[in-house]
């Protein structure tokens, strides 16, 4: 069965290593904070000016003054630091962030990403997405494999305005984990439990590379 948004976040949390500084984008990526293993030390960065972001607060324990870049209430951990957005983007542009986890509307087979604007629809602005994809050492996309019409969002070429070019390394969707190869193409690494390779092929408009046995995702 396809993964829930929470299960996508839980699978992505396995990509986080001890000592990482990690930026979580709006949407599914914010859920990753709830699934970081207890035995590793990770510092979460929010581009509106916070190092040391914790999991979401329980209902009734929210502090309206503590929000992430998506304006959701959050918690802070012991030793956290709050500062202005200029310093925050200084960290991002100086490549101090080890891993960025972003949502996307489209990703192309050569690693281009479109995640900020749909023509004709009002948007508040680019936000920090362009700085993040231009500066991060490693970028993982958390996204739905297909749109509401059932059309693939993993394409040979993006049709929406680009956020970044040739910058995406890995994608986790509700049906698959894929790597974007340097020479182009989506390499299938894992599949969601019960999801067939044929179904993933049908759901992927871009070049899909399948080699050997493809294991099901493991969440342990």
Report pLDDT digits (tens) over 45-57: 998 899 999 888 9
Contact 111, 161 (CB under 8 A): no
Per-residue pLDDT band for 26 (boundaries 50, 70, 90) equals confident
DSSP labels, 129-147: HHHHHHH-S-EEEE--SB-
Q: Which position among 6, 7, 15, 47 bears the catalytic label?
A: 47
**Rounded CA gap, 170 and 157, in Å?**
17
Residue 128: name the closest of 111, 112, 143, 115 by CA. 115
What are 61's two structure tokens? 């324990």
Report pLDDT digits (tens) over 98-138: 999 999 999 999 999 999 877 666 666 667 888 999 898 89
Contact 6, 31 (CB under 8 A): yes
Contact 153, 145 (CB under 8 A): yes
pLDDT for the residue numbered 33: 87
Residue at token pair 């790597």:
179
Mean pLDDT for the stretch of residues 90-105: 94
Could you tell me the pTM of the whole model? 0.92
What are 75's two structure tokens? 């918690």
Is-catalytic flag, 47? yes
Per-residue pLDDT band for 194 (boundaries 50, 70, 90) equals very high
pLDDT for the residue numbered 102: 93
């Amino acid at each position: 069965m396809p993964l829930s948004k929470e299960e996508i976040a839980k699978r992505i949390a396995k990509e986080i290593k001890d000592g990482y500084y990690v930026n979580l984008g709006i949407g599914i990526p914010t859920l990753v904070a709830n699934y970081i293993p207890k035995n590793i030390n990770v510092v979460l960065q929010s581009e509106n000016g916070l190092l040391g972001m914790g999991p979401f607060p329980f209902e009734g324990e929210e502090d309206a003054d503590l929000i992430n870049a998506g304006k959701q209430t959050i918690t802070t951990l012991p030793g956290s630091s709050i500062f202005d957005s200029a310093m925050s983007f200084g960290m991002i542009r100086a490549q101090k962030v080890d891993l960025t986890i972003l949502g996307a509307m489209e990703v192309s087979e050569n690693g281009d990403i479109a995640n900020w604007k749909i023509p004709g629809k009002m948007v508040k602005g680019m936000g920090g997405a362009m700085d993040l994809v231009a500066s991060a050492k490693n970028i993982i996309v958390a996204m739905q494999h297909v749109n509401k019409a059932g059309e693939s969002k993993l394409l040979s070429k993006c049709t929406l305005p680009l956020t970044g070019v040739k910058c995406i390394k890995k994608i986790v969707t509700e049906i698959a984990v894929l790597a974007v190869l340097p020479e182009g193409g989506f390499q299938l690494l894992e599949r969601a439990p019960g999801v067939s390779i044929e179904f993933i092929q049908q759901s992927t408009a871009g070049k899909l590379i399948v080699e050997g046995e493809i294991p099901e995702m493991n969440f342990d």
